[in-house]
Amino acid sequence: LAVHARFLVLGTASGALHILDPSGLELRRFAPHSSAVTGVSIDASGEFVGSCSQDGTVVVSNTISGEGSTQWYPRPVQSIALMDSAGDFASRRPVATGGLAGQLVHSARGWFGGAKDTVLHAGEGPVTAVACGGPLSAWANDVGVKVFDTAHNRCVSFVERPYERPPSDLFRCQLLWSSPAELVIGWADSIKLGVVRSRGGGGPDSKGPRLYMEVVALLQTDFFVCGLATARLRREGG
């Protein structure tokens, strides 16, 4: 399930996407996959939805018409995030995906059309979660969670998988950028809050400040985390 300010998108085991209004009424439905949907992501404008599937397909669809562009991969894809840091997703359609191949793949349209894949990371097990918050991307594999500065092409931080927690194929890691500088990590029965901070210029040959992430809160739960979402609380009388 992915949530936009105006609607929700639900992916199902049949490979279908259901676009629902906030009350749950179905606005439209289309089926871009032949097997179960494993990840859904919506761009900031609400014009496009990205989805991935156990059948190895990654599809970026128009939320109005359902028309989409498809990429095929040899192994199941488990996670997807539409990278919309500049607010111009429609022109290049940058997408980050990961799956059983153990690679984090960045895909975007070139100058002459067609999508070009770039492997940003590989070799540490299946990539089970991907989340993008402005110029920062985060992903989870069997080792832990990595945060990457895509604007300057460098690593920001690494957060280890909780000690003695079950592997990601049993309890999938959940990632949420609650703000451009705050990452919430839910893994099995623990929730961590990481805040991205700056170390300054980073030297005369660097481009922009050096970023790092500090884990500022840890919550142990008596349940397993199945999803994360922001919530705006409303005060009484206001």
pLDDT tens per residue, range 184-228 = 999 989 999 999 999 865 554 556 678 999 999 999 999 999 888
Residue 183 in tokens: 């990452």
Is 111 a residue whose pLDDT tops 70? Answer: no
Average pLDDT for 67-95: 85
- When pLDDT is averaged across residues 78-105 and rounded to a whole number, the result is 84
The model's pTM: 0.84
The two tokens of residue 11 are: 């992916």
Q: Which two three-digit tokens encode residue 146?
A: 């990595």
Sequence-separated (6 or more) residues with CB below 8 Å from residue 216: 193, 194, 195
Q: What is the mean pLDDT of the chain?
A: 87
pLDDT for 14-68, tens place per residue? 999 999 999 999 999 999 999 999 999 999 889 999 999 999 999 999 999 888 8
Distance CA 101, CA 218 (A): 31
Instruction: Please tell me the distance from the alpha carbon of residue 177 to that of residue 181, in angstroms, as a whole number.
Output: 7
Task: Retrieve residue 237's tokens.
Answer: 């009388």
Q: Please report which confidence band the pLDDT of residue 174 belongs to, taking 50, 70 and 90 as the band edges.
A: very high
Per-residue pLDDT band at 92 (split at 50, 70, 90): confident
Q: Where are the alpha helices (DSSP H) in the chain?
A: 89-92
pLDDT at 86: 56
User: What is the rounded distance in angstroms from the CA atom of residue 77 to the CA atom of residue 67?
Assistant: 20
- Confidence at residue 201, expressed as pLDDT on a 0 to 100 scale: 58
Higher per-residue confidence, 202 vs 108: 108
> Model confidence at 146, in pLDDT bands (50, 70, 90)?
very high
Return the percentage of the chain with pLDDT > 90, whole number.
Answer: 58
